[in-house]
């Protein structure tokens, strides 16, 4: 074979010691690019079709008055947003979501923490206890909701029967049928359903708390409570803050449990943003309104997430934040 006398471009001439490297590398690059595309394409396509596209469409729908049939022609600008934000039911729903966010954290955090600290002590049946406390979390919200709906039935549910045995009377229209009680009742059921998750995550966090610190505190004469309060709980900070974040986002999207327990009632006392938009979209075919509501929901979630990240989570992630360089 003729030996090519040092080609300057070199890319297409295979042999010869020095130029072979870039040539081979180029082919490898090509091959690698093909592999990257091949490997990521299915996920990207699925993601684009079923996540990105519908979200973009939601933004588009929100700018039209559309009943779900015919072409999308009735452009109304931001009018859907105006009517959503002026709608007392929707603003009520936003308030309910925010109440649930705050109440979930205020109730589940101390409860979850107390249970986690308790379960972290040496005791018999610890593994079993941890399993049991997680059971409600494993059940679907629908199944949990249906059971609770039955338990709370006015007049014939077991909750009122149990209250009766201690001489208390249930509300006439039941816990879910009385507007002032429906939301607190919902919070109680959500606590039952989700406190296990908090406990589990806190227990995981406790595994990472070195024992020596607690031991040192106790040698210094701290009581069990002081040790927990001053040493253990502060060290759980990152886990607690991450749990609160998850809980927040989940509370904003709440749908299943409300739909089953109250359908948003009575008198919209438990409507959430999600039940509002599903109602508008599927029952009343107000797709523009529903889409505007969903965009508002997303913006609220995003603002909360970004704010939380900025002011609360940042210190946890600051040291882990250094991006790993491409090798």
Partner 1 sequence: MTTTTRPTTVPTGPATDHADDGGKGRKPRQGSGRGEGGVLVYLVALVVVGLTLGPVLYAVLGGFRSNAQLAADPAGLPDPWLLDNYRRVLTGASFWTYAVNSIAIAVITTVVTVVFGLMAAYPLARYPFRFREQLYMVFVVGLLFPATVAIIPLFILITRDLSLGNTWWGVALPQAAFALPMTIVILRPFLMAIPRELEEAAIIDGASRLQFFWRVLLPLSAPGAITVGVLAFVGSWNAYLLPLLLLRGEMKTLPLGVADFSTQYSSDTAGVFAFTTLAMIPALLFFLALQKRIVSGLQGAVKG
Select the residue interacting with partner 1 from 4, 33, 82, 102 (CB under 8 A). Answer: 33
**Smallest separation, CB 139 to partner 1 (Å):** 6
Of 140-199, which residues contact partner 1 (CB under 8 A)? 140-144, 146-151, 153, 156-158, 160-162, 165, 192, 196-197
Phi, psi angles (nearest 5°) of residue 75? -70, 125
Of 267-286, which residues contact partner 1 (CB under 8 A)? 274, 277-278, 281-282
**Smallest separation, CB 206 to partner 1 (Å):** 10
**Smallest separation, CB 281 to partner 1 (Å):** 4
d(CA 288, CA 198): 37
> Contact region for partner 1 (CB under 8 A) — 9-17, 33-41, 88-96, 167-175?
33-41
Cβ-based nearer residue to partner 1, 102 or 204:
204
Any contact of residue 229 with partner 1 (CB under 8 A)? no
Angle between helices 79-86 and 287-308 (to 10 degrees): 70
What residues pair up with 75 in beta bridges, in sequence order? Answer: 64
Any contact of residue 238 with partner 1 (CB under 8 A)? yes
Any contact of residue 125 with partner 1 (CB under 8 A)? yes
Select the residue interacting with partner 1 from 7, 25, 26, 53 (CB under 8 A). Answer: 53
Cβ-based nearer residue to partner 1, 4 or 135:
135
d(CA 155, CA 162): 11
**Smallest separation, CB 301 to partner 1 (Å):** 7
d(CA 38, CA 322): 29
Report the candidate in 32, 5, 30, 31 with the shortest Cα–Cα distance to residue 18.
5
Select the residue interacting with partner 1 from 11, 208, 229, 267 (CB under 8 A). Answer: 208
Cβ-based nearer residue to partner 1, 103 or 197:
197
Select the residue interacting with partner 1 from 55, 78, 102, 106 (CB under 8 A). Answer: 55
Cβ-based nearer residue to partner 1, 26 or 36:
36
**Smallest separation, CB 200 to partner 1 (Å):** 6
Cβ-based nearer residue to partner 1, 7 or 54:
54
Cβ-based nearer residue to partner 1, 84 or 297:
297
d(CA 203, CA 314): 23
Count of residues in the chain: 327
DSSP 311: I
- Give, in degrees to the nearest 5, the angle at Cα 204 between 198 and 207: 140
**Smallest separation, CB 65 to partner 1 (Å):** 14
Q: Which two tokens stand for residue 243?
A: 């749990």
| Environment class of 48 (CB within 10 Å of its CB; exposed 0-12, middle 13-18, buried 19+) | exposed
Q: Which two tokens stand for residue 99?
A: 């109440």
Q: Which two tokens stand for residue 323?
A: 């991006």
The three-class DSSP label of residue 243 is helix
Any contact of residue 26 with partner 1 (CB under 8 A)? no
| Environment class of 208 (CB within 10 Å of its CB; exposed 0-12, middle 13-18, buried 19+) | exposed
C-alpha dihedral (140, 146, 152, 158), degrees to nearest 10: -90
Select the residue interacting with partner 1 from 92, 243, 258, 269 (CB under 8 A). Answer: 243
Of 63-122, which residues contact partner 1 (CB under 8 A)? 68, 115, 118-122
């Amino acid at each position: 074979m003729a030996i090519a006398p040092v080609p300057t471009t070199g890319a297409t001439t295979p042999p010869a010691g020095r130029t072979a490297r870039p040539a081979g590398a180029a082919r490898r690059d090509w091959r690698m690019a093909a592999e990257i595309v091949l490997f990521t394409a299915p996920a990207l396509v699925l993601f684009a079709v079923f996540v990105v596209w519908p979200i973009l469409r939601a933004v588009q729908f929100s700018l039209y008055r559309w009943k779900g049939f015919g072409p999308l022609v009735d452009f109304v600008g931001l009018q859907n947003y105006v009517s959503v934000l002026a709608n007392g039911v929707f603003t009520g729903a936003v308030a309910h979501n925010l109440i649930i966010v705050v109440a979930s954290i205020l109730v589940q955090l101390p409860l979850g923490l107390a249970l986690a600290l308790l379960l972290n002590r040496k005791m018999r049946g610890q593994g079993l206890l941890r399993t049991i406390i997680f059971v409600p979390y494993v059940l679907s919200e629908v199944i949990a909701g249906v059971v609770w709906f039955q338990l709370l039935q006015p007049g014939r549910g077991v909750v009122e029967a149990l209250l009766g045995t201690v001489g208390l009377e249930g509300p006439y229209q039941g816990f879910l049928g009385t507007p002032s009680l429906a939301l607190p009742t919902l919070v109680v059921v959500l606590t039952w359903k989700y406190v296990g998750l908090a406990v589990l995550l806190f227990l995981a966090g406790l595994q990472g708390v070195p024992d020596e610190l607690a031991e040192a505190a106790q040698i210094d004469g701290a009581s069990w409570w002081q040790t927990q309060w001053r040493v253990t709980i502060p060290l759980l900070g990152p886990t607690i803050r991450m749990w609160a974040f998850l809980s927040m986002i989940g509370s904003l999207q709440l749908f299943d449990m409300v739909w089953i327990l109250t359908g948003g009632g009575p008198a919209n006392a438990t409507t959430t943003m999600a039940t509002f938009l599903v109602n508008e979209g599927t029952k009343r075919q107000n797709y523009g309104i529903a889409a505007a509501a969903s965009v508002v929901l997303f913006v609220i979630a995003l603002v909360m997430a970004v704010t939380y990240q900025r002011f609360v989570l940042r210190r946890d992630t600051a040291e882990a934040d250094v991006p790993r360089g491409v090798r």
